[in-house]
Structure formats: C-alpha cells, structure tokens
Amino acid sequence: MRSKKYAPYLMVLPFLAIIAFVYVGGLWQAGLQSLGYWPMFGMEDISLRYYAQLFTNDRFLSSLSYTLYIALVSSAISVIIGVLVAFAVDRSKKGDGLAYTLYKIPIIIPHIVVTILVTQIFFQTGVISRIGYALGFIQDARDFPLLIFDRGGIGIMLVYLYKQIPFVTLTVFAVLRGLNSRYVQVARNLGATDGYTARRVTLPLLSPAILSSFLITFAFGFGAFEVPFLLRSPARLTLPILAHFDYRSPVLADRPAAMAVTITISLITLLFIWLYMFILRRLNKRGLEGGFL
C-alpha cells in the first residue's frame, strides 16, 4: 500500500534530481559570486555591496522598469485576449473543428522562428510596409512606424503575444471545458443573464487557471533572453541582456554584478510565485466558504 502511495514521487525523482543539480546548483554558485566570493580569482570577501550598487545604478533601474513593463503588458494583454478566445472556442461546439486546431499551432513554433516572422512582417521594410507603399498610404519606408528595434519594445511584445495568447487559450479552455455545467444552469434558472453568469460564476471558477497563465507568461517574459536580444533597441536593455553584457565584460570585477542581476531576476520571479500561491489560497477559501453566486 505504501509503495503505491510513494510511486508517483519515485517516478519524478530522477527529473527532480536533474533540476536540483542544474538549477539549484547553478543558482547557488551565482549567489556566492554575487556576494563577491570567487576564490578562483582571489575574491574571498563576502558582502552585499554589489546589490547595493545595483539599486543605486540608473542603468540597472532603467532595465528593471523596462523588463517589468514588457512582461506585465504582454502578459496582461495575452490573458485578456486568451480568455476571450477560450470563451469563443467553447461556444463553437466545445472547440470542435478548425478553430480548435488553429489556435494550437503557434504554441509549437519556436520563438526564434516567430521572431523572424515578426521582423519580416512588421519591420519598416517588411510586408505591411510594402503593402502600404503599394497602396499609396506611405511614400517611403521611413514613414512606416518603427515597431521593431523600438524603444517601446513593441516588436518584443508582438512575439510574446503570438506565443502566449494560444497558450492562455489552451489553458483556460481546458478548464472551461471541464466545468460542471450545473453551476451555469442554476444561475440561469435564478434569472441571471449570460453576462452576470460569466462574471459571477464562470470567471471565479476559471480564476486559478487565469492566474497561473498570467504567472507563467510573466515569468517567461521577465526572464527571456533570445527575443529581447534579437529585437531590442540599442538604447534599452532588459535585465537578462544587461546580465549577459556584464558577464562577458573582460573586467572580472563586473562578474559579481552580473550575478547579482541574475539573482535579482530569480528573486522577483519567486516573489510572483509566492504571490500566486497566496492569491490562489484566498480564491479557493472564498470559493469554498462563500460559493460563487
């Protein structure tokens, strides 16, 4: 009996061991180096001075605000559109047919491929710009708004939206399809409109899935490297790119600062995970105690 109880944990143990060795071990080494402890190069004094320097560094603070802006905006838009699409797919005969298949395709396309597609479509010499020129809407490629390599990070967010909206749709739709229809039927029997039922019954039941989707998309957007690196504006850097440039600096004294940035990224991500767990517990408690109507 006990063997069956612990069987699932034993099955995932090899995976957890690899994660612990690679992620936790790497994070531990990065943490030590961020404190200035790097005996290989004669650095043995442990201190928090590199973290103190970060939060007084305008370059770091600008990168932090820029990274938060891209992650929050892209995640919020992805969740809003993804939830709406999930409702639309659910209404179309529970997601059967072409619509059920099409929204899954972007999930399997690598980010690097999407980056190339977005560049070819939205760049000032891209497909949309050429169509506008052919139709006489613009007279020159420079008349087309700068959407790629721009300071506002629009090109980066376009890639994220293309990948994240289908992910949110798939996550929310899977839960939406499994909801007990009796809740909706009871609400309608009591005279609730479709809008009221969606707000007070369906959305509260979907809130854990929506929250988890937001967290996952935010964590990716906050810590991603390849897309911001390829589509960045030379004047704006996200935190992972800032850490990358500092780490590649020939000055060894810059390495602890790069590790401090890396640890800061991890801590902020963990903070959002804790916030997610806290809100999820509150939602579950409210649902059990007060119901959804």
Q: Across all residues in the chain, what is the average pLDDT?
A: 82
* Encoded tokens for 4: 């069956």
Determine the pLDDT at residue 78: 95
Whether residue 3 is contained in a domain is answered as no
Determine the pLDDT at residue 46: 83
Region 136-159: what's the mean pLDDT?
Answer: 90
Determine the pLDDT at residue 191: 66
Determine the pLDDT at residue 194: 66
Q: Which residue has the tokens 């809407």?
A: 137
What are the strands, taking DSSP E only, across the chain?
none
Q: What is the CATH number of the domain that holds 153?
A: 1.10.3720.10
Whether residue 117 is contained in a domain is answered as no
C-alpha distances out from residue 205 to 39, 72, 198, 286, Å: 53, 23, 10, 11
pLDDT of residue 4 exceeding 70, the answer is: no
Whether residue 23 is contained in a domain is answered as no
Percent of the chain scoring above 90 in pLDDT? 26
Greatest alpha-carbon span in the chain:
76
Whether residue 166 is contained in a domain is answered as yes
CA distance 288 to 205: 11
Whether residue 39 is contained in a domain is answered as no
pLDDT of residue 225 exceeding 70, the answer is: yes
pLDDT of residue 202 exceeding 60, the answer is: yes
**In the chain, how many domains are there?**
1
Strand, coil or helix: 277: helix
Contact of 159 with 106, CB cutoff 8 Å? no
* Encoded tokens for 89: 């797919």
Domain that holds residue 234: 58-111+149-290
C-alpha distances out from residue 240 to 63, 225, 264, Å: 9, 6, 10
Strand, coil or helix: 37: coil
The residues that bridge with 43 in the sheet, in sequence order, are 38
Determine the pLDDT at residue 293: 41
Whether residue 17 is contained in a domain is answered as no
Whether residue 181 is contained in a domain is answered as yes
- Answer positive or negative: Cα dihedral of 235, 238, 239, 245: negative
pTM equals: 0.82
Mind listing the pLDDT tens digit for each residue in 181-195?
666 676 666 666 666
Mind listing the pLDDT tens digit for each residue in 227-240?
999 998 888 899 99
Strand, coil or helix: 43: strand
Whether residue 245 is contained in a domain is answered as yes
Mind listing the pLDDT tens digit for each residue in 77-135?
999 999 988 888 877 765 555 566 666 778 888 888 999 999 999 998 899 999 998 98
* Encoded tokens for 283: 């939602």
